[in-house]
Amino acid sequence: MKYIGNTDEHFEISTLDKNPYLIEEAIEGQFSMIWFLEDDNQIIIDAEQRSFNKNEILFLTSFNTIEIQKLNTHHFLRFNKAFHCILNHDSEVGCRGILFYGSNNTPTLKPNQEELSTLETVWKMLVIEMKASDNLQLEMLQMMLKRILILSTRMYKSQANFQAIDEGQADIVREFNYLVEQHFKEKHSVAEYASLLNKSPKTLSNLFGKLSGKSPLQMIQARIMLEARRLLKYTDKPISEIGYEVGFIDIQSFSRFFKKHQGVSPTLYRDDK
């Protein structure tokens, strides 16, 4: 079921059985959610194998490259910037929020029973509202999408230990990840991003340390590796050109970096397609 607005707003929901085409379809500027309703789903996301089970929820952006290996029954939701992000662009639940701050971040949520019950209720309301045709439909759909994103953001923050930092610090984390998405090809050091944020590198390191996740440098390097793997797997560009594209001045330095993080050389990784 789809909603198409008068100013290019796009919103759709569906419950599908073994149909990969909507998920694999890459549409620029769109954001999606997959709610798996059965166990044993196998998806390659940006050249990395991932497995998902019943009632896990995955968030993706149009930056992600998706290959379906095995997909069972699931709820699927997709919207574009015109539908949600223009009004909520910089908010915690907008398109620069923690669920959608770049292709290096593909959160997988594992709701508890109470959270599942709430999400199921909202989904049923969405299905009903998608059948409406009055002038209040757009506002109602936007409200319910925001409800889902708020619930999901709360779950993610709880699972990712965001309670260890305050709201201002969480905004810094979001902005850092957004900047990495914009500049990872030319900026490889924590100091460069710290300068953009008017913070010290030590402040960023301490902040990410509280979240018990990757360090700022690891986040930058993970984004570079993500792009390198994509280009090696999904294009025929020469390895030297790929290295230059992700910010390395010669093939030797790129090969050393790639092998350090992937365990194999770029050539062997590409040959293992």
pLDDT (tens digit, 9 = 90+) per residue, 4-29? 888 888 899 988 876 666 676 666 67
pLDDT in tens, 212-265: 677 899 999 999 999 999 899 889 999 999 999 999 999 999 999 999 999 999
What is the residue type of 108?
Answer: T
Q: Are 2-160 and 167-271 in the same CATH fold?
A: no
User: What is the CATH superfamily name and number for domain 167-271?
Assistant: Homeodomain-like (1.10.10.60)
What is the mean pLDDT of the segment spanning 114-137? 91
Q: Does this model's pTM top 0.95? A: no
At CB < 8 A and 24+ separation, what contacts does 200-205 make? 204/172, 204/176
Q: Which long-range contacts (CB under 8 A, 24 or more apart) does 165-174 make?
A: 165/207, 165/210, 165/211, 169/207, 169/210, 170/92, 170/98, 171/92, 172/197, 172/199, 172/204, 172/207, 173/98, 173/207, 173/208, 173/211, 174/92, 174/96, 174/97, 174/98, 174/101
The phi and psi torsions of 101 (rounded to 5 degrees) equal: -90, 25
> What's the fold here for domain 2-160?
Jelly Rolls (2.60.120)
Domain boundaries of the chain, sorted by first residue: 2-160, 167-271
CA atoms within 13 A on the CB side of 95: 19
